[in-house]
Every structure is written in structure tokens, then in C-alpha cells.
Chains A and B, each alone.
Chain A
Amino acid sequence: MNLLKNLSIKKLLVHVLVLIIASSIWLPSIHFFFKEDIGNYLDDKGISPKAKMLAGRQLQIWRDPELRKIELQKMQNRNPEWDFMSRTFFVLSLANMAIREPGFKDEACEIMDCIIDTTLEAERLNGMYHFLMGYANHSGPWKIDPPRSIFIDGEIALMLGARRLVMEKPEYAILHRERISLILERMSKSPVMSSESYPDECWIFCNTIALASIKMSDVLDKTDNSGFLKKWIDTAKRSLTERKTGLLISTFTVDGSPIECGFGPEGTSIWLTCHMLQIIDQDYAEDQYLRARKELSGNLLGFGYSREWPVSCKGYMDIDSGPVVPILGTSVSASGLAFIAASSFHDKEYFSSLITSLNCGGFPLEKDGMLYYQAGNPVGDSVLLYAFVEGPLWERIGGKGIPHD
């Protein structure tokens, strides 16, 4: 009996040992099967092959009214914000693609106009709440009168500005200036120069998008809001910065008090914030990127990812973060947005490791010359497409990332 017992313990130990050896051979090698030349995704001048394929699906949606209706309705049902943001990132992508390939300019402008017009029409018919989550209606009063969301105003202004930077359109110039004027007026009413996305809820994500749209307007309309922009950066450094990490916090009230759902820095906010700040204050954006890289980026066995929160400042899961992987703190949404920052700051190492993860866990599906990421959705695809083509639009405005080779 003892002999049998010793034998099975010995056998078990042998099996455990063998499995450990096999795992330590295989697990560090998996990433080689998913690693890909980033030249397939990023191109200095033209549009990369993968970007073209990824754009294919989005273009199909916006060219076909029936398909568009179905896809946008799906997004509306799931999360109205996704519907709205997929439009913004696709317009930004189209603007960059049009600058990269002048032959595509007319078609890109036509689709950008279609997106902008349908968005403005939806806003006109259903109000801003059409693109906001349900709680916007019943979470308390808006602090700045009349109620408006900088999430909506900022992104619409950004879309209008991007379209105008590719090719001027007088009707949009008027609309753009009107939005910018509203944004400036409302942001100026807050002691931290930030306006609400939801009632008494200011998001750094939305406010920095608004800043980028102001900068676009300065370039297009020869206005000068540089004093406002500089003051915003000073205020943010003073009042909207988390002390331990030096990163901008995600959510705060109109008077600048951090809100529980985003009291610290978050991957889903900071990566895009860094990118938006590139055209406002390059050095500050660079500093925020390097801090975010230190606090949030990770690499497990060759697979890159982004944490949703720094280790020292854990927050709460919400619809933006999506499910956060325990221990690693990885968030799919944060990792998706990290692509934009890694691309715009020319961080090839991080970008490459993120691509490896995308190829493994994004379930890419190539069909009819188009690329889909099955694990994502149209907003995810738009964000990725933007990360693959961004650059020229920001260069037109004056900001350019510094290589991190």
C-alpha cells in the first residue's frame, strides 16, 4: 500500500515537473506566432495594408444606408456613447486617410459629410441625450446652464474641424465656430476650466477633445485662444493631477473635486488625453505619456496590454473600463486606446507588443478583403483604424510626436 502510495506521489510529481518544463518552454514562445511587422499597420506616408482592410468594413457601413442603420442601431442599443464615438474616430481616420492619399480625398469628404450630417440630424431630432447614457436624464441637475454635454459638443467640433482641415466647407465653418464659442464659454465658467459631460461630471477625455477642437479652430479661423489653452494646462497641473503618479485624473465635478467613478488616472482616459494634448502642449503631453507608460503599460510573455488603473491608485470597473482582468489589471478598452498613444508618440516597442495581443485575443477575421476584429465592435475598429492612420492631421495643426525608438 505504501509502495503504491509512494509510486503515485512520485508519478504525480513527475507529471507536474514535466508540465512545468513544457509550460516554461511553450508559454514564452507563443507571442512569436502572433508577432507581426508593424509596417503592415503603420505607414509613414501612405495608408498601411491593414488600415485599408480595416477601413473597408467601416466604409461599407457608411456607404450602405441599410447596413448603417442596422449597425448603428446595434451600437445604440448597447451603448449610445459607442455609436457617437465610432463616428468621431471614423471621421478622424478618414481625415488622416484623405491627407495620406489625396486621391481618396473626395470620397473621404463625402463620407465625412454623411457622418457629420446624420449626427447633427440625430442631435437636432432627439437632443443630446440621444448619444448619452440613460443616467444623464436622472442623475441630478447640470451645474452649468443651459444643460449641454461637452462630450457631444467637443466631439462634434472635432469632427467639423477635421473635415475643414482636409477641405474647407463654409457651412461647417459656421457650425464649428458656434460650437467652439459655446465650449469656451462653458469651460470658462468652471474654476478648473472644464465643462460637464454628464450632470456635474467632467471627464478629462471629453475636455481634452474639446481643447483639441479649439486648437483646430485657431488654425482654421486664425483666432487665438493660446492664452486659454495655456491657462487650462496650468490649472490641470495644479488641480487635476493625481499626486502619486503625476497623471491627470479622469472625472471630477465642475469645481474640480474628484468623483468616485474616476477619481484617479484611468487607461481609458489618459491615453487619448495624451494624444489630444499633443497639439496643445507637446512637452506636457510627452510627460503624461511617459508617466502613463510607466504606470499603466504592461507586457506579459511578449503580449502588450494596458492596465485600467495604476497599481497605486485602483478605481472601480465601469462600462468604459469593461471587465478588468484580476491581478494584471488589464482592460481591453484601455489597451485599445493605448494603440492611439503608442502610435502618436512613435512608441514602436509598445505598439508592436499591443499588435501581438490584438492578433492573439482580438480574433481578427479577414473576409472579402476586409478586416474585422471579432472581439471588438465598430467603435473598437474605429479607434484601431485611427491609431493606424493618425499623424498627418495633427501635423497640419502643428503637433508632432517625438520618436521613442
Chain B
Amino acid sequence: MRSWKGLFGKELEERGFHMIKAHKRTLSVRRYMGYAVFITVFFLLLHVLGFREYTSAISGILPGYKETVFGLIYVFMYFAFIGFVPILLISAVILTIWERALSGKINRPSDN
């Protein structure tokens, strides 16, 4: 396998390396956003389908197994929605800022 240096020279190799890093960072941001969207969509779906009514399962007065499972799934997704989704979104924002700040720092010497 030929090296990047052999193919495009040192400058291109460095640029390619930074591109991969930037791509990876973008992937992290996308992943965070993806998790947040998944939790939100899944939670809203449960909510619209009326699963909130099954949360009585927590107090133990719903006798049915199915209702208990539905209730517990809703409770789990509810706390994921209010607890994790905003954290994931804030993390995505911080990572984006971090990424931009870092790429600015990397690009600055080559601009000169």
C-alpha cells in the first residue's frame, strides 16, 4: 500500500489527515444529533399513541403485563427525552464550536 506522502506529497498528506479528523468530528456531532432525534421521535410516537396512560404501572395498580411493559417503556423514554436529549444537543453544539475553533487554528498557519 502506497503512502499518502508518496501519492500527493507532504502537504496533501497533512491536509488529508486533517480532513479525516474533521470528518470524524463531524461524525460525532451527527451521531449525537442522531441519538437525540431517535429518542425524540420514539418518545413522541409513544406519547401520541397514548402510552402515557400506562404509566400507572409505576404505582403497581395496573394488573396487565402488556400495560406494565408499555408503561415502563414510556417512563424510560420520557426520562431519556427530558434528561439526555438536551445533553446530546448541547454536546453537539459544543463539539461543533470546538471543531470550528480547531479547524480555524489549523488553517491559520497555511493562510499565511
Contacts and interface: CB of A to CB of B under 8 A. Distances in A.
Given A30-B83, A78-B61, A363 B90 contact: no
Contacts of A33: 82
B95 interface: yes
B58 interface: yes
A224 to B, nearest CB: 43
A324 B83 CA distance: 21
Interface stretch (A124-132, A287-295, A309-317, A371-379): A371-379
Contact of A365 (B53, B60, B90): B53
A375 B98 contact: no
Given A78-B60, A360-B82, A365 B52 contact: yes
B94 A375 contact: no
B59 interface: yes
A37 B91 CA distance: 31
Interface residues of B, number: 23
Nearest to B50: A365
B59 A376 contact: yes
A75 B95 CA distance: 51
A22 B90 contact: yes
A380 interface: yes
A375 B55 contact: yes
A377 B56 contact: yes
Interface residues of A, number: 25
A363 B52 contact: yes
Contact of B55 (A18, A19, A78, A363): A363
Contact of A23 (B56, B61, B75, B87): B87
A1 interface: no
Contacts of A11: 24, 28
Contacts of A18: 91, 94-95, 98
A21 interface: yes
A203 B58 CA distance: 27
A402 to B, nearest CB: 34
Contacts of B16: none
Contacts of B90: 21-22, 25-26
Interface in A29-69: 30, 33
A167 interface: no
A317 to B, nearest CB: 14
Q: Give the dominant DSSP class at B's interface.
A: helix
A11 B95 CA distance: 11
Contacts of B56: 374-375, 377
Nearest to B62: A74
B23 to A, nearest CB: 13
B59 A377 contact: yes
Interface string A351-379: 00000000010010100000000111100
Interface string B77-96: 01000110011101100110
A315 to B, nearest CB: 21
B52 A14 contact: no
Contacts of B63: 77
Interface string B55-76: 1101111010000000000010
A68 B60 CA distance: 19
A356 to B, nearest CB: 13
Contacts of B24: 11
A375 B28 CA distance: 36
A30 B91 contact: no
Contacts of B78: 363
A243 interface: no
B53 A22 contact: no
B87 A22 contact: yes
A230 interface: no
Interface in A320-361: 360
A26 B36 CA distance: 14
The 9 closest A-B pairs by CB, nearest first: A22-B90, A374-B55, A22-B91, A363-B55, A375-B58, A22-B87, A377-B59, A26-B86, A18-B91
Given A23-B87, A33-B82, A75-B61, 13 more contacts: A18-B91, A18-B94, A26-B87, A27-B83, A30-B82, A74-B61, A77-B63, A363-B75, A365-B53, A374-B53, A374-B56, A375-B58, A377-B61
Interface of B: 24, 28, 52-53, 55-56, 58-61, 63, 75, 78, 82-83, 86-88, 90-91, 94-95, 98
6 contacts: A15-B28, A15-B91, A18-B98, A22-B88, A22-B94, A374-B58
